Structure 1
Amino acid sequence: MGLMALHAQHDKAFALFNSKGKVVKYKALKARALDGNLVLFGEFHDNPITHWLQFELTQDAFAQHGTHLMLGFEMFEQDQQTVLMRYLQGAFPEKRLKDSLRLWPNYETDYAPLVEFAKEHQLLCVATNVQRKYASLMFKKGRKAFDTLTPALLQQMADPYFEIDTTLSQYQALKQMTSHMPAAMGGSYMLESQAFKDATMAKFILRNMKSTSFFVHYNGAYHSDFYQGIMWYLLKSKPDLRITTVSTVTQRNIHRLEKEHLGRADFIICVPESMTKTH
């Protein structure tokens, strides 16, 4: 009997909940997402279930929207856009893409399938993130360090003097974290650095979207959880966007969504803590 009970607790690889904690099926996520024009798909970068569902939704989005579908990636930085675009156009083989760009360690398992799908179907992929060296510069020195950058470089990122709503809970949490960091570690601008990434990703989503577009953006969950981060900047610039948010969480027991995760996104993928990781 004990063995049967143990099996019952581990018979699912994931559970899907709505924002209120009600169990829903994938078809509910699909219907809601495809009825809008933008999806912020928040992931744990090493979670195989999230990456699988990202690919499933991308396929479904293509089936409905065809070449109006656009894909955006936190995992590619703006200075990589030209190389990425040329690869999608067939200008050179995948090996050169891998040799030319700073690809994430889990690219092969988690993002290459999406990029190859886009290449096969002639879809635009957008490198939405700011270059990591400039995110690091913001983290260490703040906005004033950007005053000496050329206008051409500044085009590859959000305006360094972008607005930050420091009352947002996600940014409040970062501010609290920073307050406990030793001064020797630097990084007193952690909040600004996080918001800089959010604002930059929003900028390049909006720059590439057209009125007929359906856009799926893949990003770390923290960048869009609780309808904040990227979403805040998107809606500030374009309040009529119809955005669906997806997040990822892990729990020991996935049969009931824990209170802290309620309201995290329109749909929450709940994965067992014991789930294998992609890297």
Structure 2
Amino acid sequence: MKQLLLLAIIGLFLSASSKADKPAYLLYTKDGEVISYSELMEQALQNDMIFFGELHNSAIAHWLQHEMARDLAEDTSRNTIIGMEMFEADQQILIDEYFSGLISQSSFESEARLWNNYHTDYKPVVEFAKSNGLKVVATNIPRRYASSVFREGLKALEALSSAARRWMAPLPIEVDKNLPAYQNMLQMAHGHGGDNLIYAQAVKDATMAHFIILNMGLNDRLLHLNGSYHSNDWEGIIWYINEMVSGYEILTINTITVDDPLHVDSEKLQSADVTLVVPSRMTTTY
């Protein structure tokens, strides 16, 4: 009787523990293995470039980006630089002036065309970089030029002045329309935009790759923050980097949401080296 009672108590305890086990996130490898943050950092430190593909409103992703920036910076054997899709190349001068103390924080924030979620999601990383002497690279093409490509195609770039062309990858920009990432994007848009949708995405990817390579020193390690679709499946930015130069060791991270992070379909883990899995009910920043 005592044994039955003990087993019943153990069963109730295990059941309660199971229901209470609600991880805020889990990190998975492509093979479905759950790894710790420390193991992720071990991998990151062995690579030249880390692409942290985010969901733009994921509070967990932004927190981990901040933590990774801090922990990468602790490795003084290499210089940590931070590249950001969220800043366009013509904003680099504002970042540099702010970091050097030439302009105030209020001037920087009022002039830099910041994303609406900058203060909650990206400012902590930017301010950490500023306080610790890390370079922040504005990698993206100015939105006005990507919008022109969406409306008129790649020919829109040919009409730009030489001064304007400084803020993008060198022309002409090669685009492989058949890359799965671009075809999937077109399918998700139900064909809206046609080839111009692909071209607009590609000029962003090519420009980010261009400014990443331009700013990478021999002893630098890059943490790049971008939407997952810009680096998933080792395409997007990474495809252009590999077209431009070879030899970089690259780690990719993808962010997804699922109902139960403890049970994830293996096919959802194949788009990156490591997948950050967040509960679908997790609080978002917008």
Query: Does 2:97 align with 1:86?
Result: yes
Q: Secondary structure at the match of 2:76?
A: helix
For 1:278, the equivalent position in structure 2 comes to 285
**Alpha-carbon RMSD:** 1.9
**Rounded Cα–Cα distance in structure 1 between residues aligned with 2:194 and 2:161:** 24
Native 8 Å contact 2:261 2:277 kept in 1: yes
**Residue 156 in 1 paired to residue 163 in 2?**
no
- Secondary structure of the structure 2 residue equivalent to 1:122: coil
Q: 4+ residue runs of structure 1 moved beyond 4 angstroms?
A: none
2:135 to 117, 124, 136: 124
How much has 1:48 moved relative to structure 2? 0.8
- 1:28 and 2:39 are equivalent in the alignment: yes
| Match of residue 232, structure 2, among 210, 225, 229 | 225
1:220-251 CA distance string (max 9 Å, x none): 01100111111111112222001111110000
Larger-gyration structure (1/2): 2
Residue of structure 1 aligned with 2:207, choices 193, 200, 204: 200
Gap regions ≥5 residues in structure 2: 1-11
Q: 2:178 aligns with which of 156, 167, 192?
A: 167
C-alpha distance in 1 between matches for 2:15 and 2:146: 50
Please name the residue that 1:258 is paired with: 265
What is the deviation of 1:44? 0.7
* Paired residues, number: 274
Contact 1:51/1:110 (CA < 8 Å) preserved in 2? yes
CA distance in 2, matches of 1:223, 1:125: 18
Q: What is the TM-score normalised by the length of structure 2?
A: 0.90
1:104-119 to structure 2, matched below 5 A, reads 104-119=115-130
* Counterparts in 2 of 1:66 and 1:96: CA distance versus 1, 3 Å: farther
Write the deviation string for residues 19-59 of structure 1: whole angstroms up to 9, x where unpaired.
22211111111011111111111111110111111111111
Separation in structure 2 between the aligned mates of residue 106 and residue 131 of structure 1, nearest angstrom: 18
Kept in 2, the 8 Å contact 1:247–1:264? The answer is yes
Q: TM-score, normalised by structure 1?
A: 0.93
Q: Distance in 1 between matches of 2:99 and 2:278?
A: 32
Residue equivalent to 2:58:
47
